[in-house]
Amino acid sequence: MYDLAIIGGGPAGVAAGVYASRKNLKTILIANEIGGQSTVSPGVQNWVGTIEISGLDLAKALKAHLKAYAGEYVEIKEGVCVTKVEKAEGEDGGFTITTDKGNSYTAKTVLVTSGAYRRKLEVKGAEEYDQKGLTYCASCDGPLFTDKDVVVIGGGNAGFETAAQLLAYTKSVTLLHRSDEFKADPVTVKKVLENPKMTAIKNAGITEVKGDTMVNGITYKVGDETHELATDGVFVEIGLVPATSYIKDLVDLDDYNRIKVDARSQQTSMKGIWAAGDCTNELYHQNNIAAGDAVNALEDIYNYLHAR
């Protein structure tokens, strides 16, 4: 039986793996891939300690760091997805983790860091121009569009917060929202729309992302009327889908299927299970925050294991 099973290989999972090894916890880390959502980004500029790094290079650095410290304590299973977590039978208790490879592992504790994936824009041209002017991460890619005209798709808090961030350095921001009412907090909407560089259009149904080698325009419909807007970049903020289906029967989830955690310790509603990163209901989701939350969880897990 392992002391700890870490599920996920993004910044949170890797940070936890490094700390687990340094604390001599017998650990298994199970991940489809090492790197997280930022892998697709051409330039990450907010990873603390690194001025700029591509998503692929960040993933390589995370993997190298993890392997350098794994030693005899952290066993890494990459290219594997967890399909189910259940309470283990027997006197020792713990949890049984089943994977898509047909294997199962037992651990005294579990740290869920499986993250989330961006809900994709499914219109003509969206896939073709993904990371060619169309992006799902303003924090990662926004500064690349300094002094450019950009579009934000989405009318929730994430959409307006992205717009606010982009207004600091872009020439203009146009927000396109498919409904007749914004879902963001009214105070946020009011503040962002007061910026003279900001435009918002309601009832806008996106029909196509256009470009040549890079994005240069977007087409949308308002009612029966089709409009085309020239733009240098498209930022999609239409929601995150948490990767939590495999553990939904064990821990409490919020209305968005994110794992509810105690912000002080990252503990979930199930004793022996912690969670960190984008799969949780934490207020802000960033690489640095995910890594910090995972370290916080690891400290609590260590105390839990040694206080039993």
What's this model's pTM, rounded to 2 decimal places? 0.76
pLDDT of residue 140: 79
**Once rounded to an integer, what is the mean pLDDT over residues 22-33?**
96
pLDDT of residue 217: 97
pLDDT of residue 36: 85
The pLDDT confidence band at residue 2, using thresholds 50, 70 and 90, is very high
* Phi, psi (degrees; rounded to nearest 5) at 193: -70, -15
The pLDDT confidence band at residue 308, using thresholds 50, 70 and 90, is low
The β-bridge relationship of strands 215-222 and 225-230 is antiparallel
pLDDT digits (tens, 9 = 90+) for 157-199: 889 989 999 999 999 999 999 999 998 889 999 999 999 999 9
The two three-digit tokens of residue 198, written as one number: 């900001």
pLDDT of residue 63: 96
pLDDT of residue 91: 65
Give the residues across from 219 on adjacent strands.
208, 228
pLDDT digits (tens, 9 = 90+) for 89-103: 876 779 999 999 999
CB 153 within 8 A of CB 125: no
Give the residues across from 107 on adjacent strands.
2, 95
Res. 28: pLDDT tops 70? yes
* Higher pLDDT, residue 139 or 253: 253
SS3 150: strand
**Once rounded to an integer, what is the mean pLDDT over residues 112-124?**
93
**Once rounded to an integer, what is the mean pLDDT over residues 57-67?**
95
pLDDT digits (tens, 9 = 90+) for 74-83: 999 999 999 9
Give the residues across from 222 on adjacent strands.
225
Mean pLDDT of the chain: 94
SS3 156: coil
